């Protein structure tokens, strides 16, 4: 799960050796909760479009996993994650607040 350039068949996540039990926990968290709507079984070309559907909030949740490695993830998805900074869209602000914002003049 989220590995690149290593042997398949081992219990690995984010290019780190982990127990089979921990692998199952991470897999259930990512596939069953954080990325439940993402199609992860696509070919590599189709993946790039799927990864772009992942929200900033979802990436933050993935990176909260202790084994997570931002550099490994970026090498797999093919682009840099922009998770820091002060800029937010109005849609993101509304989502964060759980409210609709109206601009009045």
User: Tokens for 5?
Assistant: 């350039």
Span 29-46, pLDDT tens digits? 988 888 887 766 655 666
- pLDDT class of 21 with cuts at 50, 70, 90: very high
Instruction: Record the pTM.
Output: 0.69
Q: What are the Cα distances from residue 66, in Å, to 6, 63, 87, 105?
A: 20, 7, 27, 46
Span 46-104, pLDDT tens digits? 666 778 888 888 999 999 999 999 998 898 888 888 877 656 677 877 887 788 888 77
Q: What is the pLDDT of residue 65?
A: 93
């Amino acid at each position: 799960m989220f590995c690149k350039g290593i042997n398949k068949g081992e219990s690995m996540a984010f290019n780190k050796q982990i127990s089979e039990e921990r692998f199952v926990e991470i897999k259930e968290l990512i596939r069953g909760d954080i990325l439940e709507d993402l199609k992860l079984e696509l070919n590599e070309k189709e993946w790039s479009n799927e990864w772009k559907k992942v929200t900033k909030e979802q990436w933050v949740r993935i990176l909260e996993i202790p084994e997570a490695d931002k550099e490994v993830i970026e090498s797999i998805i093919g682009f840099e994650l922009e998770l820091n900074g002060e800029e937010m869209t109005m849609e993101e602000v509304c989502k964060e607040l759980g409210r609709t914002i109206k601009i009045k003049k």
